[in-house]
Structure 1
Amino acid sequence: MPIDREKALTSDPSVREIAWTTRDVLLYHLSLGAGSADDPELHLTFENGLTVLPTFALVAGSGISSGEADAPGFHLPGIDIDLRAVLHAGQGLEVHRPLPVSGTATLRSRVAEVWDKGKAALIVLESAATGPAGEPLWTSTTRVWARGEGGFSQDAGPAEEKVTPPDRPADHVLTSTTTPQQALWYRLNGDLNPLHADPEFARAAGLDRPILHGLASYGLVCKAVVDGVLGGDVTRLTGLAVRFAGPLVPGESLTTSVWREGPADDGTERLLLHVACPERDGAPVLTHATATVTAK
């Protein structure tokens, strides 16, 4: 069935209640490599004084113990597509206040836009979380590229903003390492796709071996910016938007180059990011990437 853009955009949002615990937060941080013999990073790995990386929002309520991990993740009104054609193309997150170490929220999800790109469709999904008193917690935006699903309208959407790093050396160059077990740890946050664990499944998908989750790379970059630019203060990172440009194999590393634009009038600063894999001659992993941080 072709995509019905009007139905997708006008349907009521799906609403569900989510909950998370301190244990879920600790597991998320450990799955991103937090803690070492040299620096145990107790603010991320110990329940006393625990703080929460903003990107935890994208797995909150989805852990294996929540019962959500095995649930199909692509129920969209007006969009009936082959899931094998779907690629996670980009991710955005805006946090409206520091995330609590445990809590509940109401998550409202909707199709924000569907653009016809000719040979493919670009689907933009938006999820907004509010706390028990109705306070906004976070808003996430997921970009999904559906191959072979174009041709349903004449509207390709507006030209997309291109984020190009300036022609000067980066202000910060941050390195994030991964281990061969990284994807096995990260999948315990709820994404049990065998592509990240089963070598035979990965080969059937045309890959040499299992790859790391895109959202794991996203979280690694969040942690790198918090550690390397913000002095470990998780509350100063309020937004992170990226495009997924290439896979990362567990055991490889990420190099995040950061260019600072300087403080804006509203007390925030935008950082331009470019994330590459040095073991593969600097192949890009995340591009068109920006972070929003609050000034000191």
Structure 2
Amino acid sequence: MAINYDHLMSLKSTGQEFSYGDRETMLYALGVGFGRDPMDDKELSFVYEKNLKTVPTMATVISWGAGPMADSGINYMMVVHGEQKLTLHRPLPVAAQITADSRIVGAWDKGEGKGAIIVTETVISEKGKDKLCTLESTIFARGDGGFGGPREGAPTPHQIPDRAPDQTVEAETKPDQALLYRLSGDRNPLHSDPEFAKAVGFDKPILHGLCTYGTCCRAIISSVCDYDPTKITGFDVRFSAPVIPGDKIAVDLWKDGNTISFRARVPGRGDAVVINNGKCTLAG
């Protein structure tokens, strides 16, 4: 079924209910690499219920499955996650009952054989309270170009400064990273099943893009933020290449006031850029 632009733009879902507790908060932190040294008090505070802290990018999984895209008509076999944006209206609690309201906010036609760009917004609120965060997710539907939507006006990414990075932080991943991260919601077999991964063109399962996203957040929390996650009020990226579980990631940082620009690359694979156009906004 091809995309119908008017139908796509009318899609929304409201009042979807979810909940999470300290178990999910700790599991997510482990999934993006916190707690590798169980004797490090700063790391332990993300993976142990005593004085527990929440990783801001956990916002991307607390309402996993929310949204109206199931009725979009796109070919999911040809979809890749293009960009992810996060605005935190207040720090995420370690446990909460939440509601999610989602809608399609834009769709752009790159032309027949060139794909489509679709942007979804999800607003998450703590049940009975104010908004917690707003997520904006961009997908590139490679098999759905030529549906007659607008050609111009798609969002433009944050620009990395044209100078050498001010700091580079190493953030390793482990060979079993995807198997742990998937327990936070995304059970796509591309990240766990070797036969499936080979069938779609990969030598082995790849790491979730949102796990790489969270790993970059870990790198910034542990360096720029001195392990205080409440300093982060926004976290935006463009996904550019997959990470293989076990890769060591180098996160290059540029500091300009309350804006941290960043890019992530894999030195062991020819400095392949895996996250680009990153923007972390700090409170202040």
Q: TM-score range by the shorter chain?
A: over 0.9
Among 78, 81, 84, which residue is 1:91 paired with?
84
Residue 284 of structure 1: SS of its match in structure 2? strand
Q: What do the CA deviations read for 1:88-125 (whole angstroms, capped 9, x no partner)?
A: 11111111101111111110111111111112110101
Unaligned segments of structure 2, at least 5 residues? none
Structure 1 CA distance, aligned partners of 2:8 and 2:156?
24
Give 1:246's match in structure 2, choosing from 228, 241, 246.
Answer: 241
Unaligned runs of 5+ in 1: 63-67, 263-268
Structure-2 separation of matches of 1:132 and 1:195:
34
**SS of residue paired to 1:13:** strand
Once the two structures are superposed, what CA deviation does each residue of 1:24-61 show, in whole Å capped at 9, x if it has no partner?
A: 00111111121114525222011111110111111114
Q: Which amino acid in 2 is paired with 1:8?
A: L
Give the corresponding residue for 2:16.
Answer: 16
**1:217 pairs with one of 205, 208, 212:** 212
C-alpha contact (below 8 Å) 1:11/1:77 kept by paired residues: no
Question: Post-superposition, which runs of at least 4 consecutive aligned residues in structure 1 deviate over 3 A?
Answer: none
- The whole-number CA distance in structure 2 between the counterparts of 1:56 and 1:243 is 17
- Taking only aligned residues, the RMSD between alpha carbons, in angstroms, comes to 1.8
- Report 1:57-76 matches (<5 A): 57-62=59-64, 75-76=68-69
- Other-structure match for 2:148: 153
Looking at structure 1, the residues matched to 138 and 12 of structure 2 have their Cα atoms a distance apart, in angstroms, of 19
Look up the equivalent residue of 1:114 and give its one-letter code: A
Instruction: After superposing the two structures, state which structure 1 stretch, 77-86 or 168-177, moved more.
Output: 77-86
Q: Say if 1:94 and 1:203 are closer, same or farther in 2 by CA, change over 3 A.
A: same
* Count of residue correspondences: 280
| Contact in 2 for aligned 1:111/1:123 (Cα 8 Å) | yes
**TM-score (structure 2 length as normaliser):** 0.93
Query: What residue number does 1:51 align with?
Result: 53
Question: What is the aligned partner in structure 2 of residue 79 from structure 1?
Answer: 72
- 1:127 and 2:122 matched: yes
Separation of aligned partners in 2, 1:78 and 1:139: 22
Query: Is the CA contact (8 Å cut-off) linking 1:3 and 1:78 kept in structure 2?
Result: no
C-alpha distance in 1 between matches for 2:90 and 2:121: 18
Aligned-partner Cα distance in 1 for 2:12–2:172? 42
TM-score by length of 1: 0.89
Contact kept? 1:276, 1:284, Cα under 8 Å: yes
How far apart, CA to CA, are the structure 1 residues paired with 2:198 and 2:39?
37
3-state SS in 2 of match to 1:286: strand
In structure 2, relative to structure 1, the CA distance for the partners of 1:130 and 1:274 (3 Å cut) is same
Structure 1 residue 12: Cα displacement: 4.0
Matched with 2:280 is: 291
2:190 counterpart of 1:195: yes
In 1: Cα distance, 2:268 partner to 2:146 partner: 39
